[in-house]
Structure formats: structure tokens, C-alpha cells
Amino acid sequence: MAKEVNPPRGNRDFLPLEKQKREQVLGVIVDTYRQHGFQQIEAPVMEDLARLTSGQGGDNEKLAFRVMKRGEELERALGDNSGADNLADLGLRYDLTVPLTRFYATNRAKLPNVFKAIQTGPVFRAERPQKGRYRQFVQCDIDIIGDSSELAEVELLNASLDALAAIGLSDATIRVNHRAILSANIAALGVAESEASSAMITIDKLDKLGVDGVSSEMEGKFGASVAAAAGEWLRSIEGVLDVPAELASVFAVVGARHPGKLRFDPTLVRGMGYYTGQIFEIEHPGSGSSIGGGGRYDGMVGRWLGQDVPAVGISIGFERAVDLVGDNLLGAAEGLVLVLEDDSAEVLASALVLQGQLIEAGEPQVRLERRPKKLNLLLENLAEQGFGRFAFVGAESAAAGLAGLQVKEIS
């Protein structure tokens, strides 16, 4: 018995209709972002390992796939006996943000003062594979670099909500917080500034642990008084809260176009340590996890330029979003199959002429197939691949042209 042949763990194959759906959803998102004035860029999937592990990527740095040195450099590294850390000099990107900051530093002179970027593509993380977590997956980001005003946040949130609505996820909402508000609330609990990041890690588990679980973990880290204060604070903010002054203008402007789509959440953390201002997380009632997020990261670009440049971005979690979309965007099967009556050169020539004419006339997909003994089996199989119509092509079909083509539905 033959062994199963599968892709590497944490990676997936996509069949034709699955790929078509993914490309269609991604295309709608990108088109929406382009309509809002963002421009597509592309950066390599590999970056210098030192840059990927420079402290800007948070816990994701631990999940970076290393790329070994090559040729003589690898031989020298092996001969040095300096350890595994010296064997790699490149890494596969684990997100699109860190490579973007390098891209901007490299190309700044050729970019506008306020740069509005779209990035889509695969990223790679050495995750432990499980449902919803893959080692290769697609991210879809928009970022604005060079604008320190709240206009940048407004544009990102508005464009993202428009993109989500365009793919049928109009029920999505975005939770919003500000790192300054979060830090002030943590300090008010009695947590020292040096331990604030540890407290954030615990607060970020609120949806999994609940108030009591967070309080218990806080007690283990910081003592009973901090735990009691944390429990009191978390219970006091349950329900709908007033929007603080730091976020009021963004809520007012975005809310005018997307009423009720933003929600202030003072417990929102976002795991990345590089966030410096507003932070966002996208949620949808059909998903048990967030389907995107982002925030302001004003300190990252300066690591490469030697001067700070304001930056803010947001990402739609494409894999979760595309699962929520279902098949709504695909519509009816539109492909057309031209079934060749025989294998003669005349019939093939007729089919090629008709195929070209149909494509020029706007047919989205035209496929050629020889007529098998069991035509029904062929048509049933092709119907599953997105082909909803067929027509026979004989030697006389070229002379008859498109007008003589008898197109039938695949029932």
C-alpha cells in the first residue's frame, strides 16, 4: 500500500477552486486599499537575520526560520566551531512590518513624504502546527509612514472597514486602545514601570483566563494588593465604556462613516512591544479569535535611519478572513468547456480559433477537452472545478463561428 504523500507539517496545498477563492478575496481587499490611495510594494521574503532578530519583532523572533550560510561562508562557519548561531545569516520573514521598515530605510529618497503602502504575501513562522496556526500563511497589511497625525489612524481604520465590508464581513468591528492609557492603568495597579510588560502579558490573557484567572496570575507575579486592584479594575470596566479624550476624534470621524464599528477596550494589549500609541484589533462574531490588528510603531524605522519616523499599520488576518467569507464571492460557475468531437487537426484548429474569439469576447475561462466515452463523468468533474457550461466543437465549427456555437448548461 502506497504511503500518504503530504506537504510539510504546518503547510497546505490549495486546489483550483480554493486558490481561485483566495485570489478573489485578496484581490477585492487590495483593490479597496488602492481606491483609498495606498500603493502596492514588494519586498523579499528573506531578510538579514540580525535585522529580523533585533528586538523589534517580539516573541515572533523566536519563531523565525533561519537560512544557513552558503558555500565557502558555510564551510568557514562549520570550521570555526562557533556554534549553531553562526551558521545562519538570513531568515524568512515572520511578518510584513519589520521588512517594511527596512524597505523604507533603503528606498526613502524615492518615496513620498507620507508613504501609504500595501503589502501582501506569505510569511513564515516555526509554529507548532495546529488548527488555525500554520508555518506558512498570508498577511495583508496597509501602513502609513511619515504622518504623526491622527489622520493616519483614521485612514487605516476606514480603509480596513471598507475592505472587510467589500468581502462580505460587514459585521466586523475594531477594538481600539492606546498604549499610554494601558500603561497608566497598569501603573495605577501598583506595578512598577520595569515590570509593566509582564503585567501586559497577563492582562492579554483576559479572554482565556477571565477576571479571576488574571487576578490569580497577577498575584503570583506582583502580590496580593496588585491582584486585588487588578480584579477591581477589570470588573469596573465590564460593558460599554466612554471613549477617552486621547481617542475621541478618531472615534468621531471614523464613526461618522462606520457607526458602531469601533469599540474602546482599555484591556487591549497587542503583543508586540514596538507599539507606541493607538493599537487596534479586528474581531468578527463568526470567529473565536481576532482577524487582524495593528497599531502605531513610531520607533521602528529610526532603528535603521538613525532618526525617528512616525509609522502606523494594520493587518487583516487573511487566513481567518477567507474562511469567514465562504463561497459568497465566487458566484455561479462561469467557466466554459469546448468539447472536441474528434482528434483531427481540423477540429483542433477550429477549437483554437473559437477559444481565442471567446476570450476576446470576455469569457473568463475557456477550457479545451477531448470528448471521452463517458461525457457525463467529465462534465461532472469539471463542474466541481468551476465550469458551468459546455459546447461541442466539430470540423465545421470554425466556419460557423461564435454564432453557431451551441452553449449548454452543465446540469
Could you tell me if residue 11 is inside a domain? Answer: no
Please report the pLDDT score of residue 332 as a whole number.
62
Same domain, 303 and 341: no
Task: Name, in order, each residue with C-beta under 8 angstroms of 258's C-beta and a sequence gap of 6 or more.
Answer: 157, 158, 161
Write out the residue range of the structural domain in which residue 118 sits: 16-41+106-325
Task: Give the residue from 176, 146, 142, 171 showing the smallest Cα distance to 159.
Answer: 142
Q: Are residues 83 and 126 in the same domain?
A: no
**Amino acid symbol at 112:** P
The answer as to whether 97 is a domain residue is no
Contact 336/363 with Cβ under 8 angstroms?
yes
Residues in Cβ contact with 242 at an 8 Å cutoff, skipping those fewer than 6 apart? 264
Contact 397, 357 (CB under 8 A): no
Residue 250's pLDDT band, with cuts at 50, 70 and 90, is very high
- For the chain, the farthest-separated pair of C-alpha atoms sits apart, in whole angstroms, at 90
In the 8-state DSSP scheme, what is residue 261?
A: -
Short-list 380, 372, 406, CA closest to 391: 406
Q: 156 and 28 share a domain?
A: yes
Per-residue pLDDT tens for 217-245? Answer: 999 999 999 999 999 999 999 877 899 99
Tell me: do 36 and 83 sit in the same domain.
no
Q: Domain for residue 2, yes or no?
A: no
The count of structural domains within the chain is 3
Q: Do 301 and 275 fall within a single domain?
A: yes
Buried residues in 338-360 as b, exposed as e (16+ CB within 10 A): bbbbeeeeebbebbebbbeebee
Q: What is the DSSP letter of 25?
A: H
Single out the residue in 307, 325, 343 at which a domain terminates.
325
Q: Is 1 inside a domain boundary? A: no
Among candidate residues 325, 345, 363, the one where a domain is terminated: 325
Give the separation between CA 59 and CA 313, rounded to whole angstroms.
19
Q: How many residues does the chain have?
A: 411
* Residue 139 domain flag: yes
> Of 386, 177, 119, nearest to 296 (Cα)?
177
Please indicate, yes or no, if residue 244 is contained in any of the structural domains: yes
For the chain, give the percent of residues with pLDDT over 70.
96
Q: Is residue 22 domain-shared with residue 78, that is, in the same domain?
A: no
Q: Are residues 82 and 208 in the same domain?
A: no
Same domain assignment for residues 148 and 201:
yes
342 and 318 co-located in one domain: no
278 assigned to some structural domain: yes
- For 53-108, the pLDDT digits (tens) are 887 777 788 899 999 988 888 888 888 876 677 889 999 999 999 999 999 999 99
Mean pLDDT of 256-269: 96
Answer whether residue 175 is part of any domain: yes
Specify which residues 264 forms β-bridges with. 176
CATH number of the domain within which 157 lies: 3.30.930.10
Find the angle CA(219)-CA(220)-CA(221) to the nearest 5 degrees.
90
The kind and range of the H/E element at 334 are none
Using one digit for the tens of pLDDT, what is the confidence trace for 309-359?
999 999 999 999 999 997 766 666 689 999 999 999 999 999 999 999 999
pLDDT band per the 50, 70, 90 thresholds, residue 376: very high
CA pair distance 383, 70, nearest whole angstrom: 48
Residues 116 and 87 both lie in one domain: no
Task: Note whether 192 and 318 are same-domain residues.
Answer: yes
In angstroms, the CA 59 to CA 275 distance is: 14
Q: Are residues 289 and 342 in the same domain?
A: no
